[in-house]
Each structure stands twice: as structure tokens, then as C-alpha cells.
Amino acid sequence: MPESGTLVLVAGAGRLPDLVAGSLERAGRAHKVLAVRGFTERTLRARADATVDLLDVGATLAILKAWGPAVVIPAGGVSRPSPAALLNAGAALRNREALRAIAGGGDDRLLRAVLALLEENGHRVLGVHEAAPDLLSPAGTLGRHAPDAEAEASVRAGRALLAALSPFDVGQAAVAAAERILAVEGPEGTDRMLARARALGRKPFGYGRSAPGTVLVKVSKHGQDLRIDLPAVGPRTVRNAAAAGCAGIAVEAGRTLIIDRAATVAEADRAGLFLVGLEGAP
């Protein structure tokens, strides 16, 4: 992490911003928190250094300029605005040209444009994987359970498939059972993919036992900008994987965020699932 510049955590929704703040504090890194109204959780917003409206590009850039040059760490979601996030209609009017320029595409395009806007104004943008590496999956087995030979074969199949699909920007995850791929993640996300895998892997009509060695594999795509799209798993992922009949979860070490690692590992142990961090190429 660079030594120059004020570290600014731009806090969106969910637990991640608070986890990143905790990581920075443990590392002894002084930082400021810029909360996004309607998104940042109340406890973190209460100790934020400033709060901005989602649409107020001008105010955000002015604050960063006053603090800067800033090293900005975006964390947490802003994809589904709450009513509070959109209350300040004046912000939208003040920034309509900037908003029109960055809102002409999907989520990835929007986020890339926001990062480019920050960098054009002299700020450096870091991803969570760079700012808080202790939140990422380590290599090896994380809990009490380890994959057996059938599960390892499923992991290899899932990794090979995702590597082959990587140029097509399809998804980060797949469910595999031996050499059979049950589901590939699409725009719906990992949780809904697991729901599909549950129905497809248990015949007939979603009943019965899943195939032995069924595994959830989650890795980053080739060339993926981890600053805006970092693969992540957490306790909910474990519960949904268990419901889908998975024997375990394999993630990419050093490039996958584990939300609340202790709770995630404990949930995997309780459900009898293995959780492993994968190294190297598939």
C-alpha cells in the first residue's frame, strides 16, 4: 500500500466497509471514512468523517480534494439505491452532466467510469484486496473438513471450466460433480446459481441426494479488475452450498474475500463442508 496520500474508505452497503476499517485499524493505518447516505450501515456512518449523497459527484470530489491527494478504497455495494440514497434530488440536478457521462452502461461500465473519474482528478484507487489483504482467503484447508478424491476431481473440473469461460465474462463460480457441471454463475449471482444447482443435482424434481463430491468453485476471471469485482463468500454462501448438496467450497487463495472468516469457517464446520483456498493455475 502506498505511503503517500490520505487513505479514504468510501463506505457502501453491507458488512464489508466495517471489516475493511477494522483491517486498517489493526494495521495501524490512519484513514478517513466517507459514508454514502442511505447505504453505509448506521454504526460506521456515526463515526464517518463526512457523508455524501450517492448522486452528488461534485461534493464527493470536493471532499476528496480537501483531503487529498487521496488514496480511495471503495468497499460495499451501491447497486440498489434505498429511498434515503435518492432523497437529495438537488445533487442529481447539480451533477446531471457527470451522471449522464458515467451512467450509459451496465454496472461494470458504471463502476469503471467512476474509478476513472477519481483517477482523472488526481486520486489513486485501491481495491480491498490491496488495502486489507488479511480479509482474503489463505491457501489450504480452512476448517475441520478436507476434500476427498471425488471432491478434488470436481474442483479440477470446475476450475478448468471457469478458466475456459473467462474470456467471455460469464461468471466467477460453478457447481461441479466429478466431470459434470451442474450450474455456471450468470448475472443472477452465486446464491441463485446454487438454487438452480440444487434443483438440477437432485433428481427427480429436485428431490433425492446430490451426486457425491458436488463442489462450489469460485475464482476470479482472467484480467478481472478486482477493485470493482472481488469474488466473495460468507456464511450465507456456506448455507446455500449445503442446501444445494455441496460437499464443500473451493475459492481462489489471495483473490477471494471471505466475509467474517471465523463465522464462515464455523458455518462450514457445522454443516460438514470443506472450505479450501486454491493456489496456482487450474
Within this chain, domains 7-133 and 136-278 share the same CATH topology: no
Predicted pLDDT at 280? 77
Cα distances from 241 to residues 2, 152, 163, 200, 228, in angstroms, run 38, 16, 21, 13, 24
Domain 7-133 indexed as CATH 3.40.50.20? yes
Close Cβ partners of 101 (under 8 Å, ≥ 6 residues apart): 113
Report d(CA 125, CA 116) in Å as an integer: 9
Predicted pLDDT at 170? 79
Per-residue pLDDT of the chain (282 residues; tens, 9 = 90+): 445 678 999 998 889 999 999 999 999 999 999 998 888 999 999 999 999 887 677 888 899 999 987 899 999 876 544 444 444 444 444 545 555 554 444 445 556 777 888 888 889 999 999 999 999 999 999 999 999 999 999 999 999 999 999 888 778 999 999 888 999 998 888 999 999 888 775 554 445 556 789 999 999 988 788 887 889 999 999 999 999 999 999 999 999 999 999 999 999 999 999 999 999 776
Q: How many Cβ atoms from other residues are within 10 Å of residue 139's Cβ?
A: 13
Instruction: Assess whether the previous peptide bond of 69 is cis (omega < 30° from 0).
Output: yes
Report d(CA 243, CA 195) in Å as an integer: 8
Instruction: Assess whether the previous peptide bond of 204 is cis (omega < 30° from 0).
Output: yes
Domain boundaries, the chain: 7-133, 136-278
Does residue 76 come out as left (phi exceeding 0), alpha (psi in the -120 to 50 range) or beta? left
Predicted pLDDT at 117? 82
Domain 136-278 indexed as CATH 3.30.565.10? no
Predicted pLDDT at 171? 80
Is residue 33 within 8 A of residue 12, CB to CB? The reply is: no
pTM beyond cutoff 0.85: no
Predicted pLDDT at 223? 78
Predicted pLDDT at 100? 53
